[in-house]
Structure 1
Amino acid sequence: MTYRTLDELDEGQRVLARLDLNSPVSVGVVEDNRRFSRHVETVRDLVEDGHRVALLAHQGRPGRDTFVTLEQHADILADHLDHHVEYVPDTYGQTALDAIEHLDAGEVVLLENVRMTDDELPERDPVEHADSALVQTLAPEFDAFVGDAYSAAHRKHASIVGFPLAMDSYAGRVMAGEYEANSSIATRDFDGEVTMVAGGTKATDVIDVMTALRDKVDNFLLGGVVGELFLRAVGYDVGRDIDENDLYESQWLANRDQITDLIENHPSDLVYPTDLAYADGDDERAEVTVAEVKNKDHDYLDVGTDTAEQFADIAANSSAIFVKGALGLFEDDRFNLGTVRVLEAIGECDSFSVVGGGDTSRAIEMYGMDEDAFSHVSIAGGAYINALTGKSLPGVEVLKDDSDW
């Protein structure tokens, strides 16, 4: 069984929709990002179908600088929607209930940061969350719940998993699109080789993905911290810290057994960098072959030119490509070559392609690539990893017709 979508929602209802508008905040200013443009598709459909719409979302966590109200989010969302979105400085108190009661068809309100309530953050079973004051107060005010916060679907938070057990529920456009694309590596058969770009600084996450997909992927293109750790395992003097930052050693110790297992049992699937880039004494990009590194004395910030071309050629000739992690410090123009070259090759081919959420997907916008050139660009981080590794996503499971919560 599966979930119902917006196409099955009768027109003109009172709808509570959970989005994920969590965004970077710089000196108190909320930054616009891809999440707004994605979620606006769901909100626009609800408005055009004459629903009375209340939105729930979160921003940051208590105690952090990013923990702010959603007033700015309402304005940013309204700009994308080209339709007024009223900010309500209350989540489920009387002010919120009054705003919901006075909604007319096609009107939209954004309720206050749901993480400012006591009920939201504790990780509990959906049944417990369904009995919370947050859910029990808001659910009777609506005809339907739309779960669209795929980026937070790996969390058992009240607004994610509680409402679907208390009312009719549907998957929004983001939820349905993300889940289908991100789980495709496990659910689809591809007529040709499957390739994964395995890079970034969070080696533990990526190596967990590689271990889970070792029988599904034909080529793992290794870069970033991940690439150096694998090179270290086969005898090269890289993949270790040269300053006080503990970026490599702790991840080496945590993942050494998994790395060794992949090398021993899936050697033909691993494609190592053959050269690496670093900043020389003049802060210019310099490159060195892996074989020439005898004593690591530089931070390597990108794969080299030869590696970038090799990786791009493999990706372009694959049937499906999944990207998890950048190949270098692409935010710096000196070290964007590997990430940008491979993404461009993926975008130019006709293969099925999914680019993982978080930092890597930012490179597409940053360097002027067309997002439509890829089959899917995810806005999720943790949920993307869970989908790739086959782990349960509670925020998806509670929407399904056969949910046994």
Structure 2
Amino acid sequence: TALKSGEVLLLENIRFNASETSKDDGERLALAKELAKLGDLYVGDGFGAVHRKHASVFELAQLLPHAAGKLIAAEVAVLEKLTQSPERPYGVVLGGAKVSDKIGVISNLLDKVNILAIGGGMLFTFLAAQGKEIGKSLFEAESVELVKQLLDRAEKLGVRVLLPSDIWVAPAFANDSPSLVSADQIPSNQMGLDIGPESARAFASAINECATVFWNGPMGVFEFPNFASGTKIVAQALSEVSGLSVVGGGDSAAAVRALGFSDSDFGYISTGGGASLEYLEGKELPGLIALR
């Protein structure tokens, strides 16, 4: 039966249908055609999924008259400011576990930023690339050469790269036995789990100089109270930026909320972790292509 005026039909989570995420174009199109029978217009407003080539994101939009919703419009407007005409000084703070997830972003933003600060698990691959002892810390051997190239390029471009000078370490991945060591000499039986207080202050000071700041990825294992201070100090500095402060979605958004900050403390909190990163990498996002 047709919907009456003022009624809304809410469908089950579309990803329960395997065709939604199928790698087969034909399967996705067949599902999109079924979905298209349910409406006359398509409004795409799930920014967190625009980097996915899924039936309800990509194919369906093209089968109906379409428009971007207000959330997608707002997200893209903010990301355009970060990539096209940022107010300077422009700082990017990156953390999180894997450097391989962020290489593309760093590479694409290097010639746009003034300051690049690196924390989180990914920082140990940077320290290793500089020949430093990193103990049992998280480390991606296959990314070392790329990191060396990025550091060389940053130097040539005059980008100020901030790496931690001190690290909170522990013997195991747990909220126990924290000790503070120099970033130059992490003991062989310890793993780094957060940036130290000196580093956090240096990062905060750099953030305070900036008119535009983008932050993606926690500085340490913020879920453990003993290793949350780096993320908290960086978040506090970001909340005090008088210009544009943008928190990239995913873990960073979860971190600031878990540490007691509210969304209104920042200029903008993105709803898309992967989507915002891929946009900043310069990639074409299927969900945005479909809405043109």
TM-score using structure 1 length: 0.67
1:353 is matched with 245
* Residue 252, structure 1, aligned to residue 141, structure 2: yes
Amino acid paired to 2:202: Q
Alignment of 1:370 with 2:267, yes or no, is no
Are 1:262 and 2:154 counterparts? no
Once residues 77 and 71 of structure 2 are traced to their aligned partners in structure 1, the CA distance between those partners, rounded to angstroms, is 10
> Which residue pairs with 1:204 in the alignment?
100
Q: Counterparts of 2:218 and 2:271 in 1: how far apart (Å)?
A: 15
- Separation (CA, whole Å) in 2 of partners of 1:359 and 1:311: 19
1:105 maps to 5
Q: How far does residue 392 in structure 1 lie from its aligned partner after superposition? A: 0.6
Question: Which digits, 9 at most, give the CA deviation of each residue in 1:285-306, with x for residues without a partner?
Answer: 321112343x432111100000
Matched to 1:283, the amino acid is D
Residue number in structure 1 paired with 2:176: 283
Relative to structure 1, the CA distance from residue 224 to residue 141 in structure 2 (aligned partners, 3 Å threshold; closer, same or farther) is closer
Task: Tell me which residue corresponds to 1:274.
Answer: 165
**What SS is found at the alignment partner of 1:136?**
helix
Is 1:182 the counterpart of 2:71? The answer is no
> 2:163 & 2:53 partners in 1: Cα distance?
38
Task: Output aligned runs, 1:12-91, within 5 Å.
Answer: none
Q: Deviations over 1:309-347 (max 9, x none)?
A: 010010011011111211101111111111110111110
CA spacing shift, 1:383–1:124, aligned 2, 3 Å: farther
Q: Which residue of 218, 221, 225 corresponds with 1:329?
A: 221
State the match for 1:120 in structure 2.
20
The CA deviation at 1:135 is 2.5
Q: Deviations over 1:157-184 (max 9, x none)?
A: 1111112211111112222222222343
Q: Secondary structure at the match of 1:321?
A: strand
Please say if residues 285 and 334 of structure 1, whose CA atoms lie closer than 8 Å, have aligned partners that are also in contact. Answer: yes
Deviations 1:319-376 (A, max 9, x none): 1111121110111111111111011111012121111111111122112212112121
Higher normalized contact order (CA 8 Å, seq sep 6+, divided by chain length): 2
Unmatched 5+ residue regions in structure 1? 1-97, 401-405
Distance 2:284 2:244 in 1: 24
1:86 counterpart residue number: none
Shift of 1:119: 2.6
Distance 1:305-1:130 versus aligned 2 partners, 3 A rule: closer
Identify the residue that residue 140 of structure 1 maps to in structure 2: 37
CA contact 2:115–2:161 (8 Å) conserved in 1 = yes
Question: 2:203 is matched with which residue?
Answer: 311
Q: Are the equivalent residues in 2 in contact too, given 1:130–1:165 (CA < 8 A)? A: no
Q: Which residue of 2 aligns with 1:42?
A: none
- The secondary structure found in structure 1 opposite 2:43 is strand
Contact 1:371 1:377 in 2 (8 A): yes
Name 2:51's counterpart in structure 1: 154
Letter in 1 for 2:195: V
304-313 vs 274-283, greater mean Cα deviation: 274-283
Give the letter aligned to residue 7 of structure 2: E
Equivalents in 1 of 2:291, 2:109: separation in Å?
26
The amino acid of 1:300's aligned partner reads: G
Q: In structure 2, do the counterparts of structure 1 residues 302 and 139 end up closer, same or farther at CA, with 3 Å as the change threshold?
A: same
SS at match of 1:225: coil
| Contact persistence 1:197–1:220 (CA under 8 A) | yes
Give the total of aligned pairs.
287
- What's the offset of the Cα at 1:211? 1.1
CA distance in 1, matches of 2:106, 2:169: 26
RMSD: 2.1
Letter in 2 for 1:201: A
Q: Distance in 2 between matches of 1:147 and 1:271?
A: 38
Aligned to 2:133: 237
Q: Deviations over 1:199-252 (max 9, x none)?
A: 1102101122111111011111111222111111112101x646xxxx42xx22
Q: TM-score, normalised by structure 2?
A: 0.91
